[in-house]
Chains A and B, each alone.
Chain A
Amino acid sequence: MGEEILRMEEIDKSFPGVHALDHVHFNLNRGEVHALMGENGAGKSTLMKVLTGIYSKDSGKIIYEGKEVEFHNTREAQDAGIVIVHQELNMVGDLTVAQNIFIGREFMSGIKINDRKMVEESKKLFDRLHIEINPTEKMSNLTVGKQQMCEIAKAISHECKVIIFDEPSAALTEKEIDDLFTIIRDLREQNMGIIYISHRMDEIKVITDRVTVMRDGTYVGTLITKDCTKDDIVKMMVGRVIYEQPKEKSLVPDDAPVVLKVDHLNAGKMVQDVSFELHKGEILGFSGLMGAGRTETARAVFGADPKQSGDIYINGKKVEINSPEDAVHHGIGYLSEDRKRYGVVVQKSITENSTLACLDDYISGIFINKAKEKEAAETYIKELDTKTPSADQLVVNLSGGNQQKIVIAKWLVKNCDILIFDEPTRGIDVGAKNEIYKLMNRLASEGKSIIMISSEMQEILRMSDRIVIMCEGKKTGELKIEEATQEKIMDKATRDIK
């Protein structure tokens, strides 16, 4: 491990309402692979965005090659030798590999782009990385793994000294990950500083020299990878104080009937052989890190995405769910994590939104029975304690918490017995959160069965009667609330299954 190349000191960054980075430290040496870890929302990406000039910091110092620096955009960072390989690939599919690598800094001969030189230079880059990609191939014809290699080639073509990998392995196959690691080791040999962001604990052990852990926007600590165990890292990631009491024991009687049974469900890469049961009156928490396949599982159950195999039973009877229409027909309601896109029609009134899923019931002849519609909407406004001047209010004018209630009302009007809440409190302030929690508890006590997907550990522990944990498209565990702890959940959520 060489001398220090980069040091970030006391980095502070706030967004309206969020203290995203609270005096964070980070340092990186030449010839080192340094992991940056933490739960979703711990501040890893924000820190890297501050480093590469996408965000400006509120205070703190960045010292790079012995000098204090401040980048105003990624271009400046690039020119200084700091590049980032994004999780989402930034490739122009219709151009060739070489054209992509040199986009924005093409070799010219007069006004003509010198494509031949670009191809030659690309070949040299690929040789240096010991990979075989045809530079004249169209980018969209490559696999995701190969595209990532091109991103890396593009990065090193900048003569960079620091490369940041933001969850590079998320979309790669085992073989591709091996290739990636070979490249990373090569780059380390070439004395570059490498920052590696990943959730996969096993990868961290294999490829990195040191680990820095962040939590809730703060710096927790830095460990030498070979001297620490997975447990040490997990403890650092979750060691936060829990403000709200977790649920002490399940409120569901052991003999409660199974209302929904999902058996060996497969749907693409993100849902592999997932089985679980949901009991009447139960809140079943789905925990896991980002990209664990929880939303994908819910969408497959709901019929929003196609499934390859697997059976779904409702109240013991096997049912065919091939579209959301089928799911709604069987009494399943889905509350999307992205309310604005999938949950409500924001430019319409509360009334119109409430009856959207079951307009058929509110039709007299060929006309919509407005009076009946309004009555239903008003019933649920009262019942869910939605704060609005009237049922005619446009949904866009409501707060996040109240919008969420409209979505809930929509499915209650439809008389759904099984409700899937996907990140029910995302983007909702604390007070409204509590109301949503109360509402969910009440719904459960009234005999509705709830699946709650949440990335917030506290929420999972506070609300769930039982917890299913997923990791990379597979179910890695199931815990009763009585035995669940943050450490146990995080352990299962980061398990690398071979």
Chain B
Amino acid sequence: MEKTKKKSVLSLFSNQKYIVILVVILLAAIFMIASADFRKYTTFVTLLDMSYYYVLMGIGVAFPLITGGVDLSIGTGMVCYALVGGYLVRNAGVPVIVGILVALLFGIGIGALNGVLVAVMDLPAFLATLCTCMITRGLGSLLTFKSTVPWPTDKQPGGWFHTIFKITLANNTKIPLGFLWVIILTIIMAFVLKHTKFGRYVIAIGSNKEATILSGINVKFFHIMAYVVCGLFAGLAAIPYASAIPTIQPGTGAGVELDAIGGAIVGGVSATGGSGSIEGTFFGVYVICLLKVGLPFIGLQANWQQVITGAILIGTVMIDIVKKRRAVATGQAVA
């Protein structure tokens, strides 16, 4: 009896999901102890404000990652969708809701393109999405004639979409409502990954594609869908991005995807595919966001965030590899 109990506690900590929650708490505690400014409510709101689009991208990219692929186009893609949507709102006078829908559809389209390139044309995911990364970066500039795009501010007409993420009360207290939405989306997508056919087959494709095909499953369709979902979430991420960044610059967004991918991997998504969780990704992304926001408060510049994130990533990937190697050594089948 005692033995089983001990084992379950151990396995709790060998599960990356729980480790990463611990890391989030630990980081938050360190920054709060070290810096009085970090403890302020406004810092908390700022952190959450910038976290939404990272979390949404992280949730999306978890699906291609779990199939054993990746999507590098989500960063420049998100900026491209925000640019195009915003441009239509500003210059063509379409309602904000239409701008948002255009951004989502654009994201789904690029996702589908990625999916077809990877699942049907058999391009390596890295290569295919690197290409669409460049394409979306260029397209964003071209479609907006290289102009910067400001979405309506919250005082302007059409600025209602800011209230999706943040409500300002009469006494000027800000409620970060967006946090609720990302939590709800995390729960929904965690359910999709764990309890629907789509999620199950995404895991199966990443774990053993050949066996999945032989089980009579339409692997191409589900493989494409993984990228479509990722594209959709890049489109969704464009909304909080447009809300958080006052003026969107064409040609930016490269590198943002790496923070999202890094978050997913820190959160336990296997870099080689086959396993991972959305709730883990959620916390993993917050590790990255905490480092981004927190380190300047203890006197370390933003570049340190990149160095530390890189180091943490190496650590998590090594844990994954060592685990698999140990499984091989003890004679268990990994494939």
- Interface window among A105-113, A192-200, A238-246, A469-477: A105-113
Q: With a CB–CB cut-off of 8 A, which chain A residues contact B206?
A: 94
- Within 115-169 of A, Cβ neighbours of B (below 8 Å) are at 115, 139-144, 147
A103 located at the interface, meaning its Cβ lies under 8 Å from any Cβ of chain B in the complex = yes
- Known contacts A94-B203, A94-B207; is A104 also within 8 Å of B333 by CB? no
**Residues A103 and B212 in contact, CB atoms below 8 Å apart:** yes
B35 located at the interface, meaning its Cβ lies under 8 Å from any Cβ of chain A in the complex = no
A91 located at the interface, meaning its Cβ lies under 8 Å from any Cβ of chain B in the complex = yes
**Residues A95 and B333 in contact, CB atoms below 8 Å apart:** no
- Within 276-335 of B, Cβ neighbours of A (below 8 Å) are at 327, 331-335
- Interface window among B55-63, B79-87, B214-222: B214-222
**Residues B217 and A104 in contact, CB atoms below 8 Å apart:** yes
A93 smallest CB distance to B (angstroms): 5
**Residues B203 and A91 in contact, CB atoms below 8 Å apart:** no
A14 located at the interface, meaning its Cβ lies under 8 Å from any Cβ of chain B in the complex = no
Give B205's nearest chain A residue, CB to CB: A92
Query: Considering the chains assembled together, what is the distance between the CA atoms of A211 and B277 in angstroms?
Result: 50
* Interface Cβ pair total, 8 Å cutoff: 71
B210 located at the interface, meaning its Cβ lies under 8 Å from any Cβ of chain A in the complex = yes
A99 located at the interface, meaning its Cβ lies under 8 Å from any Cβ of chain B in the complex = yes
The total of chain B residues at the interface (CB under 8 A) is 25
Q: With a CB–CB cut-off of 8 A, which chain B residues contact A73?
A: 216
A441 located at the interface, meaning its Cβ lies under 8 Å from any Cβ of chain B in the complex = no
Residue from the list A74, A95, A111, A141 in contact with B214, Cβ < 8 A: A74
Give B210's nearest chain A residue, CB to CB: A90
- Known contacts A74-B216, A104-B216; is A93 also within 8 Å of B274 by CB? yes
Q: With a CB–CB cut-off of 8 A, which chain A residues contact B331?
A: 143
Query: Considering the chains assembled together, what is the distance between the CA atoms of A369 and B207 in angstroms?
Result: 47
A75 located at the interface, meaning its Cβ lies under 8 Å from any Cβ of chain B in the complex = yes
**Residues A111 and B333 in contact, CB atoms below 8 Å apart:** no
- Known contacts A91-B211, A140-B332; is A103 also within 8 Å of B195 by CB? no
Query: Considering the chains assembled together, what is the distance between the CA atoms of A60 and B104 in angstroms?
Result: 56
B139 located at the interface, meaning its Cβ lies under 8 Å from any Cβ of chain A in the complex = no
Query: Considering the chains assembled together, what is the distance between the CA atoms of A144 and B207 in angstroms?
Result: 17
B204 smallest CB distance to A (angstroms): 5
Residue from the list A103, A140, A141, A143 in contact with B204, Cβ < 8 A: A103
- 10 shortest interchain CB distances as A-B pairs: A94-B207, A90-B211, A94-B274, A104-B215, A75-B216, A92-B204, A103-B215, A92-B207, A92-B208, A112-B195
Given A92-B208, A141-B332, list of 11 further CB < 8 A pairs?
Answer: A73-B216, A74-B216, A78-B216, A90-B211, A93-B208, A94-B208, A95-B203, A108-B197, A111-B196, A113-B196, A140-B327
